[in-house]
Every structure is written in structure tokens, then in C-alpha cells.
Amino acid sequence: MTSPKLNIATKFSSFSNGVAYVVGVVAKGEKVILADTAVEVSTIEQLDLSLLGAKSSLESVTRLAAPNGAVYLLIGLGTAELDSTALRSLAGAASRNLAEFKEIVFGLPTDSKEQTAAILEGSLLGSYQFGAYRSLNKLAPVQLAKITVISAHKPTPATLARAEILSESTSAIRDLVNSPANDIYPQSLAAAVQKLARGTGVTVEIWDEKRLAAEGFGGIIAVGKGSSRPPRMVRIDYKPKNAKAHLAFVGKGITFDSGGLQIKPATSMIGMKYDMTGAATVANAAIAIAKLQLPVRVTAWMCIAENLVSGTSTRPSDVIKIRNGKTVEVINTDAEGRLVLADGLSIASEAKPDLIVDVATLTGASSIALGHRYTGLMGHGLGVEKAKAAAEAAGELVWHMPLPADLRVSLNSDIADIANAKFGAKGGMLLGGLFLQEFIGKKAKGNDPIDWAHLDIAPSANNDQAPWGYNAKGPTGVMLRTLVSLAESYC
């Protein structure tokens, strides 16, 4: 899909045939009324909007005829403050409902350049569709060619370009995650990212299974042993000459997770193609940061394997050695994501970056704790506060969870340095974080561990509920914007 042209108009001009005009509605007593808007609304301002089906509840939408063959989309603004996050979400909801239109004009109220940019960004994100595998009942192609916001607050060209880059990178994540595991497997995922990276100023290096074994990546090798399609490690490195800091992103890339020998129930295997979302996210974050030419070095590590069942699969109670030399007793073959991440965190630590952030659909326990929209955040040093601030700036939801030292005993092994899980233990999300913490190296100076943030996106990576904001059903691309915002915080 070609990115639509982004346009800012200082005032309303006239209605055009086939164009959708987005106007907010709010509650006033028992009535639904039009919110402040720069769009001409004289033909509908005297109507009883409630009788026409309009609702003020957040993101509810109603279409009405406008002059000259145009269409009004009335969207409920709810009762919350209309900040950039709310406007981004509202614009996304509007675009999801206007997929057949070539042009959308937004008449939502704005108070700043940031709010204008948020509307454009949300509209781009909301217009995403994935129809690559449909032959019958094809989705109507997205025809959106132009997005206009009527506002006195005009963003800079650089801000508009940023919105386009974030949208393109989010769409790239969604495309990879939507694709089935018979097409996206370790080798093809590595090749796809290599293709996405062309011409962006990053270098891409790929470890095959022989190199992984030779260089001590025992976690990735162990997880990938059961598949006929061997594992891969991919490094994406953006290294500007004027870099002010070095960030390392590490992503879980399980292209399909059967659970291994401790196989998942049938229904729990549905959707396990999504288990590579973390790797897709960190790769596209690095590429987006390179496109934005931020003066920050970023090294992204994609830890890619397919967790399947065969005579060569890793067994429960096997002991493996991770890149940093620590041994792990594999108690649960379905706790495989932390094994590949252990290798990724180990090699990322070797470069002594200023901050390590890992992104992973790590635990089902995080969804039990946080529902469907929040990402679990754990870590130490400056990692947590930096990630929280970046998520807030990006308008994404994170919730800080602890790493209680008293739970570490649950991961003790009788024969190895650590076990990867313990059946029946409480605090599954926290145990995942405690395990990963063992593989964060020391800072270049002193004995303190490298600042680190762990983002468990299992709750938020895939929207299996009703569409909301700029998210249809399916992959959300969550945390891409947070990682970019994090890099910007070092500029």
C-alpha cells in the first residue's frame, strides 16, 4: 500500500464528492451534539443526532450524508480529555471505518502541532489491512490516497515524515506477524528483514545453525532442534558517526510454538505464529530509527527458532549452556522464549550498551494479570523509567511489574545453574523476568548490571477482541513507537 499524502488545511474550503469528513460528537444532557469543528456542519447542526443513531460513547461512529456527495462520519469523543493519545486512537477508529474512501478530512479539535501529528499518525495506522492470502471474498482494497487535518497547528515536514515512517514500520511488523508459519520460518524471516533493511543505512548479519553451535548459542540451538527448519540469529546494526548512546534491542522470534515435547493443547496452538512478534518489532524499530537518522546507535538482535516436536527435540530435564556460559535445566520445553532470549541478551551484553531492551510474547501469565491492552514492564537500573517515559510519549500502555528476589528460588536447579521454569510456581510473568535478568551482563565500568527493560507483549501484541482505536483484529505492532521514542530520548 502506497502511503497516503498528508495535508494540513488551516480552514475548511468546500465539500467534495466521495470525501469523508470526520466530526466529533459529545453528550449534552440527554442529547448528542456536535463538538467544536472547523468542518461546515450547517446542514446537520439542527438535526436530532440521537434519533439518527449517533452516540457520544468513545469511538462510536455514524455516517450521514453531506453536501455534494460527501459523507460525514460522526465519531463519539467520550468524556476523557482529548490529548494526543486520544486523538491518535480516534483518528485510527475513523480510518478503520472509512476504508473505501480515497480521502478523509478530519475536523477534530487540536491544541498543538503534536495533536495534529497524532491524528495523521492514527489515521495511517488505522487504515492498515492484510489481504495477501485471500482469493475469495477479498477485502475491499484500501484506497486512501489523502489525509487532511483542518488545524491552525501545522507540524513540520520532519514530523510528517516521522508519522509515515512509524506507520510503515508498524505495517511491516503486522505483515510479518500475519503471515502463516509455512511462509515465515527462521530462514525466511531473516531474509524478509534483510530485504526490509535495504537502503536504510543498517547492516544485517545472519548466523546459521552451524555458526550458532560453534559460537555457543545453546538456547537457540536447543529450541530449534526439533524442527527441520534450523534456527537463525540476526543482528541489525545502525551505527551513525555522531551516536550519542548505544541501545541494544533483543526480540523473541519463535516462528511457531507447538510447545515442544511438552506439547500445547490443540486450541492453545492457534495463533502461535504470533510468537515471533518481538523479533519483528525490534528489527523494524532499528530500521525506523535508521530512516529517521537519529544520532543513536541501535543494535537489534532477532533470536529466531521454530519450536516443534520430533525425535531430535530437546527433552525435559536436558541441560544446555547459554552464550554467557551459564547452564540451564530445561524443565518446561514450552518456556522456550526465555532460552532464545538468554542467548540474545548475552551477546547484546558483550558490547556493553547503555541500555538493553528485550521485547517478547513471553508469558501467558502476563495476559492473566494485565488483560488485553497493557504490556508488562520489568527491569532494573534506568531501564524501567526510560521505558515508561518512552511509552507515555508514544501513547502506548505499559505497567511496571516487580522482580521479587524471593521468587528466584523457584528457578533453582538440582544440577544446573538455573532452571527455565517451575511447574505450579506463582508469579509466572515475574519468573520469566527473573530468568532473563540472569543473562544481563555488567556495565563497562564498575560491577553494576547494564540498564535493562523487559517488555512482555503477550497481552498486547495481538488483538483478539473487538477492534479499537487504530487496531483491527490481529497483530498490533505494539512497542514499535515506544522503542523509537526511547531512542529519541537519547538525542
Q: What are the CB-based long-range contacts (under 8 Å, 24+) for 188-196?
A: 189/232, 189/234, 189/253, 189/255, 189/276, 189/279, 189/280, 189/302, 189/304, 190/232, 190/234, 190/302, 190/304, 193/234, 193/236, 193/280, 193/283, 193/302, 194/234, 196/172, 196/283, 196/284, 196/287
- Return the amino acid letter for 127: S
Q: Is 338 a catalytic residue?
A: yes
Instruction: Please tell me the number of Cα atoms within 13 Å of 325 on its side-chain side.
Output: 3
CB-CB neighbours of 17 under 10 Å:
10
Crossing angle of helices 480-488 and 383-394, rounded to 10°: 110
Listed in sequence order, the DSSP H helices in 76-182 are: 84-96, 113-126, 157-178
Q: Is 264 a catalytic residue?
A: yes
> Which among 82, 8, 80 is positioned nearest to 38, based on CA atoms?
8
Could you write out the three-class secondary structure of 138-153?
A: CCCCCCCCEEEEECCC
Active-site pick, 225, 323, 338, 422: 338
Active-site pick, 55, 102, 146, 264: 264
Q: Annotate 319-368 with DSSP letters as a single string.
A: EEE-TTS-EEE-S-TT--HHHHHHHHHHHHHHT--SEEEEEE---HHHHH
Distance of alpha carbon 281 from alpha carbon 127, whole angstroms: 19
Distance of alpha carbon 119 from alpha carbon 97, whole angstroms: 15
Are 249 and 359 spatial neighbours (Cβ–Cβ below 8 Å)?
yes
Please tell me whether residue 209 adopts helix, strand or coil conformation.
helix
Question: Burial level of 209, CB count in 10 A (0-12/13-18/19+)?
Answer: buried
Are 229 and 209 spatial neighbours (Cβ–Cβ below 8 Å)?
no
What residues are annotated to the active site?
A: 264, 338
